[in-house]
Amino acid sequence: MLPQTVDPSRLAEQGAIYRDRLSLAQLPRVRELALAGDEAGFAVQIEFCCDAQRRVRVQGSVAGNIHLECQRCMRAVRLAIAQPLNLVAVWDEAQLRSVPADSDPWEASDGFDLHALVEDEILLALPMVARHPQGECAPPVSLATADRADRYRPFANLQSIVRAAGNP
């Protein structure tokens, strides 16, 4: 089971490997965005190791599906997340500068919240604006409203009232 609070250095020395599934209840910042009914959660695989330079590396993946509200048609849009993890733990600026280009820095601490890390990675993988692919949206609500507005002509009676007033 994936522990929540970890000591990255110790796990790297142990070469710890975790395979687990986190529910949305364990990922509150992701749950805030997800539409109701998303209960499957995310499959997480995380491996800690020390590299030749004695850096703490965190590798693995986060994968799962999430339903968000499409910002074009307001219906649910399903997004498949498959985010690779390739992180180097950094405790200070000197370490931050030595992070290889193929990895992302991860600001670590001795009592680090691993669930929050998984959340960060899912949030990173989400698009800025959730939308169905072009052409796959439900008809926009505004069109239906426009259609009704066309049939309902609020001034249609005005002319007859004016006529009535002019011809007593």
CB of 134 to Zn ion, least distance (A): 10
Q: Which positions from 34 through 63 interact with Zn ion, judged by CB under 5 A?
A: none
Q: Which is nearer to Zn ion, 82 or 138 (CB)?
A: 138
Among 72, 95, 99, 125, binds Zn ion (CB under 5 A): 72
**Under the criterion CB under 5 A, does residue 70 sit at the interface with Zn ion?**
yes
Instruction: Extract the tokens encoding 45.
Output: 């695989």
Q: Does 16 bind Zn ion (CB under 5 A)?
A: no
Q: What is the 3-state secondary structure (H, E, C) of the chain?
A: CCCCEECHHHHHHHCCEEEEEECHHHCHHHHCCCCCCCCCCEEEEEEEEECCCCCEEEEEEEEEEEEEECCCCCCEEEEEEEEEEEEEEECCHHHHHCCCCCCEEEECCCCEEHHHHHHHHHHHHCCCCCCCCCCCCCCCHHHHHHHHHHHCCCCCCHHHHHHHHHCC
User: How many binding residues for Zn ion (CB under 5 A)?
Assistant: 5
Task: Give whichever of 11 and 68 is closer to Zn ion, judged by the CB atom.
Answer: 68
Closer of 21 and 75 to Zn ion (Cβ): 75
Binding mask 125-144 for Zn ion (x = CB under 5 A): -------x----x-------
* Cβ closest to Zn ion, residue 84 vs residue 140: 140
Task: Report the residue from 73, 76, 116, 123 that binds Zn ion according to the rule CB under 5 A.
Answer: 73
Binding site for Zn ion (CB under 5 A): 70, 72-73, 132, 137
